[in-house]
């Protein structure tokens, strides 16, 4: 056991990797995804690996995931598609 104390305490812990600025996005923990819901609709979210976002299909918004941490602030979300035209604005 004493020999282990001579080693770098951060070696292999992943601490150095997070600050390395790697281009590969960090997905959230799978166990975390099972209970995350949209703060606006309270509906489950879908993880999109290609964009590293949590998607609310119903509202058409995507929450970014930064360093493996979902940013669930509604102001941080982006629209994934245009809103459909209002029902009362009928076209001739």
DSSP secondary structure letters along 25-50: PPPPPHHHHTT-B-TTT--B-EEETT
| pTM, 2 dp | 0.62
User: What pLDDT, in 10s, does the model give residues 15-72?
Assistant: 334 444 556 777 778 888 888 999 999 999 999 999 999 999 999 999 999 988 899 9
CB 39 within 8 A of CB 56: no
For the chain, which domains are there?
30-79 (2.20.25.10)
Q: Which of 73, 70, 66 is nearest to 18 (CA)?
A: 66
């Amino acid at each position: 056991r004493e020999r282990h104390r001579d080693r770098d305490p951060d070696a292999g812990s992943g601490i150095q990797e997070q600050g390395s600025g790697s281009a590969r996005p960090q997905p959230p923990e799978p166990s975390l995804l099972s209970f995350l819901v949209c703060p606006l609709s309270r509906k489950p979210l879908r993880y999109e690996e290609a964009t590293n976002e949590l998607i609310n299909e119903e509202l058409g918004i995507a929450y970014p995931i930064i360093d493996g941490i979902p940013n669930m602030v509604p102001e941080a979300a982006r629209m994934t598609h245009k809103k459909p035209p209002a029902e009362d604005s009928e076209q001739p």
